[in-house]
């Protein structure tokens, strides 16, 4: 069943965004009384569409909450070309990331003009919202403003940086050392990797350098690789 997120609830009805209403009426061509799921404050509601001059979304019932041990998975990524960025946001959302922090990195060729940041943020948020709907999440990942390296210092949790310099400490050893964490923070470098200076800085901040094995992966593959493994480790 199609799922949408709503920020506004009036009694037994939800308000959906114009985009969502367009999707319901024009893309999905839903019929009167057709059912959808609406997520509101991390609760899933079974609703039905009422077509009229304006489309109404009427609550039928609240669906039982599927309680799950919610870990915080924070992904720190460089600014990348639009396509790679979009791709990471979509896939990381599918794979359960809870927070994405774009960070300005030395070797990242992309520079984001402050004037353009709002527009970008809108685009990124939309991608994560749609991927959350598609993958039936009840929480849309948070994308923070573009940050600087130094901002990572205050972050608490199990922390590692994907490093091609590191040869000993691989991801397997790392996760064996750090089990049942509440928050895990993963730093992924740009093409060409993080500079030694940046890695040293992260180590000072308490990040561990971790190897992902001998494979040479494109930067946009790395987050998926790590998130897939975290999902695997959480299987019961």
Name the site residues for a second copy (rule: CB under 8 A): 66, 68, 91, 94-96, 134-136, 170-173, 212-218, 221, 224-226, 228-229, 231-232, 234-236
**Closer CB to a second copy, residue 47 or residue 131?**
131
Q: Locate tokens 């960070």: which residue?
A: 103
User: Is residue 13 packed enough to be buried (19+ CB in 10 Å), middle (13-18) or exposed (0-12)?
Assistant: middle
> Measured from the CB of residue 138, what is the shortest distance to a second copy in angstroms?
12
> Measured from the CB of residue 114, what is the shortest distance to a second copy in angstroms?
33
CA distance 229 to 211: 14
Distance between alpha carbon 53 and the CA centroid of its chain, in Å?
A: 36
> Measured from the CB of residue 137, what is the shortest distance to a second copy in angstroms?
9
Q: Let me know: does 100 contact 132? Beta carbons within 8 Å.
A: no
> Measured from the CB of residue 55, what is the shortest distance to a second copy in angstroms?
25
Q: Which two tokens stand for residue 167?
A: 């040869």
Q: Let me know: does 149 contact 114? Beta carbons within 8 Å.
A: no
Q: Is 57 helix (H, G, I), strand (E, B) or coil?
A: strand
**Closer CB to a second copy, residue 12 or residue 228?**
228
How do 142-143 and 99-103 pair as beta strands? parallel
**Closer CB to a second copy, residue 97 or residue 152?**
97
**Closer CB to a second copy, residue 78 or residue 96?**
96
**Closer CB to a second copy, residue 125 or residue 170?**
170
> Measured from the CB of residue 219, what is the shortest distance to a second copy in angstroms?
11
**Closer CB to a second copy, residue 29 or residue 218?**
218
Q: Let me know: does 185 contact 205? Beta carbons within 8 Å.
A: no
> Measured from the CB of residue 228, what is the shortest distance to a second copy in angstroms?
4
Q: Let me know: does 235 contact 102? Beta carbons within 8 Å.
A: no
């Amino acid at each position: 069943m199609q799922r949408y997120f709503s920020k506004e609830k009036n009694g037994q009805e939800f308000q959906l965004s114009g985009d969502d209403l367009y999707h319901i009426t024009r893309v999905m061509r839903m019929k009167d009384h057709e059912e959808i799921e609406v997520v509101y404050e991390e609760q899933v509601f079974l609703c039905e569409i009422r077509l009229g001059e304006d489309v109404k979304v009427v609550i039928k019932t609240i669906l039982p909450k599927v309680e799950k041990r919610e870990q915080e998975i924070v992904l720190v990524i460089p600014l990348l070309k639009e396509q790679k960025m979009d791709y990471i946001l979509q896939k990381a959302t599918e794979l359960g990331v809870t927070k994405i922090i774009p960070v300005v990195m030395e070797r990242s060729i992309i520079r984001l003009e402050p004037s353009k940041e709002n527009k970008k943020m809108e685009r990124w948020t939309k991608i994560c919202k749609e991927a959350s709907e598609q993958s039936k999440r009840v929480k849309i990942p948070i994308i923070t403003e573009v940050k600087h390296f130094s901002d990572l210092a205050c972050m608490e949790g199990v922390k590692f940086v994907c490093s091609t310099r590191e040869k000993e400490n691989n991801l397997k050893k790392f996760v064996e050392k750090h089990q049942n964490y509440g928050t895990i923070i993963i730093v992924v470098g740009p093409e060409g990797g993080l500079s030694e200076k940046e890695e040293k800085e992260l180590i000072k901040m308490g990040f561990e350098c971790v190897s992902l094995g001998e494979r040479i992966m494109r930067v946009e593959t790395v987050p998926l690789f790590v998130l897939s493994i975290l999902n695997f480790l959480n299987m019961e």
